[in-house]
Structure 1
Amino acid sequence: MDPSRTGYFEHTPTSIPILRKIDVIEVDEDAFATEMGPPTATDLVAGSPEYIFAAGDGIDVQINDLFQVDKPEQFKRTIDQSGKILLPIVGSIQAAGMSQTDLVAAITEKLRPIIRDPRVDVTILEGRAFTFMVDGEVR
């Protein structure tokens, strides 16, 4: 015993087993194994081809004949946190939760009393709500 050390020290032999699994919730590799076959036609179909706008997305709205005949007006907008965009003459429009087709239709409807045959185009500049899902086994 060393008198320079204070406290109560007891030597306890330690043995550490070598584990095959780190945690009790781990399962065997074969637990998720499924029988795979060649891809079918339904595997190759995209789930949702149209992007749904969300807050924070950057979009470009082009409206023909708004201020001048045969002249397209272009407006770059970011969808605000309430899901709306503000356009001149048109006003505030709900954009979040809509597809590109739905948003074009909504802007066109607001323009009908102002322009005889409104032509509107909406392009996504920056999509913040893109989500990707990988399904299946990765080897």
Structure 2
Amino acid sequence: MTAPTQRLQSSLANSIYQLFNPIPFGFFVAALIFDVVYYQTAEMMWSKSAAWLITIGLFFAIIPRLINLVHVWIPRGRSVLAAEKIDFCLNFIGIVAAIANAFIHSRDAYAVMPSGMILSAITVACIALSLLIASTFYAPRRANHV
């Protein structure tokens, strides 16, 4: 029987990751809400506002994704959980969808629907699922008391 290996992480990088990781999700959810409102009302302001929210969300997604990239794919003597790789891949898919969505939203407001709303939904679904998966390996560990 072997002892489990201690997960070595930079506490500064982990703190920065935990601070910035939820911010893009909020912007992407707001963009999805704005897309739905635009789909219902055809008021161009909602589409343009969604474009800004997607752009700001992508801007804030850079730092945590770079930290996660190094953490998952350059492990430095620690084992990487399969959930961490799935979390990274789902975030990657969500961000690629958000980049495509930013290009879609740069069109004239009437040309955004329905592809802009679909890409917003894909982005939110991927990142929400990745946050749920990440909660399994970032949850505090409890000691077993007998």
Shorter-chain TM band: under 0.3
- Asked which structure has the greater RCO (Cα within 8 Å, sep 6+), the reply is 2
Report the TM-score when normalising by structure 2.
Answer: 0.27
Q: Which has the higher strand share?
A: 1
Report the TM-score when normalising by structure 1.
Answer: 0.28
Q: Which has the larger radius of gyration?
A: 1
Q: Which has the higher helix share?
A: 2
